[in-house]
């Protein structure tokens, strides 16, 4: 298992293609990446990078269900429903990753969703600051 050879720091982005024959000596079909986002993150980012990456992702997921909704301006509550559906869909899709890569174009979408969640959570505080000035 190549993850156990360098567990903390990983091998870097898109290195599965270089190390895939260490896992299995012969492939009938060309396999450019492992088909599980969580394993790919650990293999490429290592445990340290994967924990940081998924901590922010799962924290945004939890915020979209809990404190984000309760502290947010009621005008923005409708956006939390879409964020919740998106996060749950991504958590499920990351288990079956052949076409939805965490490190491809999907990364842009994931970080836009995460940043929107954190921004919407802090929206009342931002508006209070503007009214005080």
pLDDT, tens digit, 9 for 90 and up, residues 83-102: 888 888 888 877 776 555 66
35 and 69 Cβ atoms separated by less than 8 Å:
no
Q: Determine phi and psi for 57, rounding to 5 degrees.
A: -65, -50
Domain holding 7, by residue range, is: 2-126
Q: Is residue 91 domain-resident?
A: yes
pLDDT at 48: 92
- HSE-up (13 A, CA, CB side) for residue 71: 17
Residue 65 CA to residue 88 CA, distance in Å, equals: 11
Residue 119 CA to residue 107 CA, distance in Å, equals: 18
What radius of gyration do the chain's Cα atoms show?
Answer: 19
pLDDT, tens digit, 9 for 90 and up, residues 98-124: 555 666 677 788 888 888 888 887 776
Q: Is residue 133 domain-resident?
A: no
pLDDT at 67: 67
pLDDT, tens digit, 9 for 90 and up, residues 27-81: 676 666 666 778 888 888 889 988 998 898 888 888 888 866 677 777 777 888 8
Residue 61 CA to residue 68 CA, distance in Å, equals: 10
Q: Is residue 69 domain-resident?
A: yes
Residue 121 CA to residue 100 CA, distance in Å, equals: 27
Q: Is residue 56 domain-resident?
A: yes
Residue 46 CA to residue 60 CA, distance in Å, equals: 21
Domain count, the chain: 1
pLDDT at 17: 67
- HSE-up (13 A, CA, CB side) for residue 80: 24
């Amino acid at each position: 298992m190549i993850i156990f050879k360098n567990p903390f720091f990983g091998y870097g982005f898109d290195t599965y293609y270089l190390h895939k024959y260490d896992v299995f000596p012969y492939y009938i079909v060309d396999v450019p990446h492992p088909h599980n986002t969580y394993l790919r993150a650990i293999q490429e980012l290592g445990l340290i990078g994967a924990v940081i990456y998924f901590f922010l992702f799962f924290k945004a997921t939890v915020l979209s269900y809990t404190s984000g909704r309760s502290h947010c301006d009621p005008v923005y509550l409708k956006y939390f429903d879409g964020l919740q559906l998106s996060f749950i869909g991504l958590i499920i899709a990351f288990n079956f990753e052949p076409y939805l890569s965490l490190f491809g174009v999907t990364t842009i979408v994931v970080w836009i969703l995460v940043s929107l969640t954190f921004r919407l959570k802090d929206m009342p505080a931002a508006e209070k600051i503007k009214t005080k000035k």
